[in-house]
Structure 1
Amino acid sequence: MQHHKNIVLIGMPGAGKSTVGVVLAKTLGMQFIDTDILIQERAGKMLQEILDGNGPDAFKRLEEETILSIRPDRAVIATGGSVVCSEAAMAHLKSGGVVVYLEIPYAEMEARLKNITTRGILLLPGQSLRGMYDERVPLYEKYADLTVACSDEDFESVVGNLIEAL
């Protein structure tokens, strides 16, 4: 397990990247980084405020800049669902660690995202949740070194499965 510098969690909004990330980092004695929190700190506002006030393109730029600015070492990194839209950000994250796709089916994502308007989810103008899901799945699959199914599993089981897979 020691050979991995960083563990990068990617996946849909609501897949549990932040929750699984915290538990995983504690379990493995690693640092925990949540890129959404870094973006908020950098911008001085909530993700939804950035999206509403500056638009999706500005949000994507900020996300990419934020990720390119970090030099994590032995960290578990929970990324925003839209990180896979940036090739530069993904190349940076992949170069320093293993990328794990936390996979959930569409219906489960929809159920977990009860309040979509305040979650800071990057939907392109006119894009539905389903459209976003269908657009991102191939990107998650392309960048993932490992895929862990997170459907109907409690977070401890997901963490256990993930550690086993690593």
Structure 2
Amino acid sequence: MVTQTDAGNLVLIGMPGSGKSTVGVLLAKRLGLGFVDTDLLIQEETGRTLQAIVDQDGYEALRRIEEQVLLKLGVRHKVISTGGSAVYSARAMEHLKTNGTVVFLDIPLDVVIERIGDHSMRGISRRPDQSLEVLFEERFELYSRYADLTVKGAGLNQDQVCEAVVNSLFSDQR
């Protein structure tokens, strides 16, 4: 088991609304690491919101841009909050795993729906005909495949999820 202290980075994956950005900031503070939000890196690089990319160029364009941004990422000792669709790129995920521990923040579909509200405005990378339910099932398999650790977030607030991640990381070192 590779831990955050060995590899340097802690990489958060999960559905939109799972808490990757919020919990990521809490984890960075708790562990004394920097924080990187790859959705913000995409927006900085393109000068557009994720939703504008999807609206103007399609979901596949967002996935390509995301892959390029992730492959260029060469940071150490950071908590990295990835976009929900990062797992569609095997190359990007393998790159992230070489310098980090990947943590899947797992929340049920009803919590995703409750937290993200109108998903049409969230810049979510999905096929136009794809329901949120189908997207959830498709991504769940990918998140599970790439995760070194899975932390269940149902019924937990952000501080509790942060604590659960820390406990999972360091329980393997005893």
Q: What is the TM-score normalised by the length of structure 2? A: 0.93
In the alignment, is residue 97 of structure 1 matched against residue 100 of structure 2? yes
CA distance in 1, matches of 2:139, 2:121: 20
Give the secondary-structure state (helix, strand or coil) at the position aligned to 2:5.
coil
CA distance in 2, matches of 1:57, 1:157: 35
Aligned match of 1:62? 65
Aligned match of 1:72? 75
In the alignment, is residue 29 of structure 1 matched against residue 32 of structure 2? yes
* Cα pair distance change 1:37/1:9, threshold 3 Å: same
In the alignment, is residue 5 of structure 1 matched against residue 8 of structure 2? yes
Offset of 1:56 from its aligned partner?
Answer: 1.2
Offset of 1:92 from its aligned partner?
Answer: 0.6
Give the secondary-structure state (helix, strand or coil) at the position aligned to 1:2.
helix
Q: Which runs of 5+ in 2 are unaligned?
A: 170-174
Look up the equivalent residue of 2:133 and give its one-letter code: R
The count of aligned residue pairs is: 166
Look up the equivalent residue of 2:29 and give its one-letter code: K
Q: Which runs of 5+ in 1 are unaligned?
A: none
Q: What is the TM-score normalised by the length of structure 1? A: 0.97
Match 2:158 to one of 140, 155, 158: 155
Q: How high is the sequence identity, in percent, across the aligned residues?
A: 47
Aligned match of 2:145? 142
> For the aligned residues, what is the CA RMSD?
0.9
Report Cα offsets for 1:52-105 as digits up to 9, x if no partner: 001111111100000111101000000010000111110110111100000001
C-alpha contact 2:14 2:104 (8 A) present in aligned 1: yes
C-alpha contact 2:60 2:125 (8 A) present in aligned 1: no
Look up the equivalent residue of 1:57 and give its one-letter code: E
Give the secondary-structure state (helix, strand or coil) at the position aligned to 1:100.
strand
Offset of 1:4 from its aligned partner?
Answer: 3.5
